[in-house]
Amino acid sequence: MQQVSIEIGNRIHPDNQNYCKLGDTLLRQGNFDAAIENYRKALALGLNYAEAHCGMGYALQSQGKLDAAIECYRRAISFKPSFAGAHSNLGLALQTQGNLDAAVESFRKAVAFNPDFSDAHFNLGIAFKQQGNLNEAEASYRRALQIRPSDAEAHNNLGNIIAELGRLNEAEASYRQALKLKPNYAEAYVSLGNILIELQRPTEAETCYRRSLDIKPDHIEAQARLGYALFILGRLNEAEASLRLAIYLEGENNTFFTLFTLGNVLMAADQIDESHAMFRRAQHIQLLSYWPSKKKKADFSVLLLDSSDVLSTPLGYLLGNAGYDIHSLALLLETEYDIDVLRSNADVVINLISDADNGKDILPFVQDLVDRIGRPTVNHPRHIRSTDRATISGRLSGISLCRIPKTVLLSADMLARTDWHKCIEGFTMPLLIRCAGTHGGNDFEKIDDIGAIDPFVSHHPDANFYVSEFVDYCSDDGYFRKYRMVYVNDEILPYHLAIHDHWLVHHFRTNMAGHEWMRNEEEAFLKEPHLVFSEEHYIALRKVALAIGLEYCGIDCSLDHDGNIVVFEANATMRIHDEKSSIFLYKNPHIAKIKVAFDSMLSRLVNRDTSS
């Protein structure tokens, strides 16, 4: 909300003063017509009365008569050039008209004439934010708070700016200060909830949204964001109810966010047809999701191609605080998209549909779309289609210093045949079996007896299955170590080391939080990965990356007792994110290098395309 000023000034003629005082009183009461009448009477006694011109301007502005208001403010300034209140109110009127450059100039003059004018600093912060000048906006809000530390709204707005600049913990502190000053500030609870979502604390976010709704039961954003928090928490029925209530409250003004989030909830609940219908309603309002560049002028524009139906590359961290505009399209099969619109928002395309198994139906559609857009593409669907586990196993076999477990893809029908064992001739026990298209250790078992395969298959009647050899990669100390490397911008960078006392290793499954020695070993690996992987290993990893054929991918691997790299998985489905927990913060400088490389890759692709 903008902050206005009614500056009364010194008045000489007593009748002028009386009319202006009455006009000011009526103005504050919202009786604008009567206020204007009294200002006119004051001006009839002396047209050079700056305060009357300013008061009339504000009354006219409140009635939506911006051109007339601007004329009044300019008259006030012509009679009293140092009139800070008139400069500030002129800035507000120009800002409302969308003339941001002129508005900023007016606010600057206001604070130049009155450096302690907190309202003008506050409004200058709003104008800078609208221009995309986030650093200047932050400075303006901080100056306003130096003058008036008790301004809860300024603390909230400062939090919004800091959040956009990526300093999430500072933003949280600003929102909490706003709520300390104004405990019933519903909007600040929503702001705090939003930042807690970003900080991966959805339970606390839920509490904030509910508190906002306690204060203001019809707060639409709080209701919609509550639905999103509940979705993240996996409480789908509650999420659906909250989002449907938000849609009801929106009436005819449904928002893309609410409809799209409900579509995701319904998809997670396997209500596929209704989910698609909700996505179509959302795209009728807004085809592309949009995240503007953090720079005033974006370096370029990125188009993300995604689908809620299938597994996607999780790039939230890598795309954060970007110096480029980001547009995202949630693809729906059998939908004709305007190629010119997509191309106009794409200097480079990133295909997020990254699993060759659960994306097999939509990837040909996306491939055709990408080919028609005709822009440089990260992880082209054509290449993703050949990154299933069996194909990758075959493609990587024969690379020196790499040990690739034999892998085969089998359908339930094939496994029901009496001669299915021929498919795994040459495999050594034990075996691993998993449902195709799954990750994170879900639907995944180690089989020591061939007879254990049938019970596993019977529990997943509609699935296809990967069967592969188990490679014992246990270290001499009895622990299993899995390293994640990221290939991006022709570099191979370390992301993490997970150490566990069980063969099924994922970082979230370990107890590394409880063992300092494990964290120390991970930190040492991130600082000096060459102490684990030799130059020969890096040559082999590069051959692995090139064989996969993607611009961006992850490689999960270990070392066997002979020093060979055991490649467990190599594809683009792996999640890369920074750490919020204090005990794992040592990882963030190394994770940040991956983001730098990712941004450099995009810039290189755009520059190569524009120069060709």
pLDDT, tens digit, 9 for 90 and up, residues 461-506: 888 899 999 999 999 999 999 999 999 999 999 999 999 999 999 8
Neighbouring residues of 204: CB distance < 8 A, sequence distance ≥ 6:
193, 196
pLDDT exceeding 70 applies to what percent of the chain? 97
pLDDT confidence tier of residue 174, bands split at 50, 70 and 90 = very high
Question: What pLDDT score does 8 carry?
Answer: 39
Q: Kindly state the average pLDDT of the residues 121-142.
A: 93
CB atoms within 10 A of CB 26: 20
- Answer whether residue 254 shows pLDDT above 50: yes
142/131 Cα distance (integer angstroms): 18
**Per-residue pLDDT for 149 more than 60?**
yes
- State the Cα–Cα distance between residues 104 and 550, nearest whole angstrom: 46
Mean pLDDT of the chain: 91
C-beta atoms surrounding 56 within 10 Å: 29
pLDDT at 310: 84
Residue 6: is its pLDDT beyond 90? no
The whole-number average pLDDT for the span 363-389 is: 96
pLDDT in the model for residue 9: 39
Question: What pLDDT sits at residue 16?
Answer: 52
Q: Does 13 have pLDDT greater than 80?
A: no
Categorize the per-residue pLDDT at 62 as very low, low, confident or very high, splitting at 50, 70 and 90.
confident
What token pair was written down for 11? 């008045």
Q: Which amino acid is at 86?
A: A
pLDDT reading at 242 higher than 70: yes
DSSP symbol at 451: G
**Who contacts 106 (Cβ-Cβ below 8 Å, separation ≥6)?**
87, 88, 90, 91, 94
| DSSP labels, 105-124 | HHHHHHHHH-TT-HHHHHHH
Instruction: Tell me: pLDDT of 61 over 90.
Output: no
Is 437 a residue whose pLDDT tops 80? yes
Residue 529: the pLDDT is: 97
249-255, long-range: CB < 8 A, 24+ apart: 249/218, 249/220, 249/223, 250/220, 254/281, 254/285, 255/224, 255/285
Q: What is the pLDDT of residue 458?
A: 84
pLDDT of 222 reads 97
Least trusted range by pLDDT, from 292-296, 393-397, 569-573 = 292-296
pLDDT at 14: 46
- Range 159-170 average pLDDT: 92
Instruction: Give the model's pLDDT for residue 555.
Output: 96
pLDDT at position 20 is 73
Q: What pLDDT does 132 receive? A: 85
Q: What percent of the chain has pLDDT over 90?
A: 68
DSSP-based three-state secondary structure for 166 = coil
Look at residue 12 and tell me whether its pLDDT is greater than 80.
no
Domains and CATH numbers, the chain: 14-247 (1.25.40.10), 289-384 (3.40.50), 406-469 (3.30.1490.20), 480-602 (3.30.470.20)
Q: What pLDDT is stored for residue 541 in this prediction?
A: 96
Find out whether 296 and 131 touch, Cβ atoms under 8 Å.
yes
Higher pLDDT, 46 or 492: 492
Q: What's the rounded mean pLDDT across residues 390-399?
A: 92
Q: Which residues contact 69 (CB under 8 A, 6 or more apart)?
A: 57, 58, 60, 61, 89, 93
Give mean pLDDT, residues 29-49.
78
Q: Is the pLDDT of residue 425 over 50?
A: yes
Q: How confident is the model at residue 612 (pLDDT cuts 50, 70, 90)?
A: low
Comparing 156 with 5, the larger pLDDT belongs to 156
Q: Is 88 helix (H, G, I), strand (E, B) or coil?
A: helix
pLDDT of residue 23: 73
Query: Per mean pLDDT, which range of 24-28, 231-235, 406-410 is the poorest?
Result: 24-28
Higher pLDDT among residues 18 and 523, named by residue: 523
Residue 334 is predicted with a pLDDT of 85
Report which DSSP code applies to 466: E
pLDDT of residue 1: 53
| Residue in the block written with tokens 């698609």 | 276
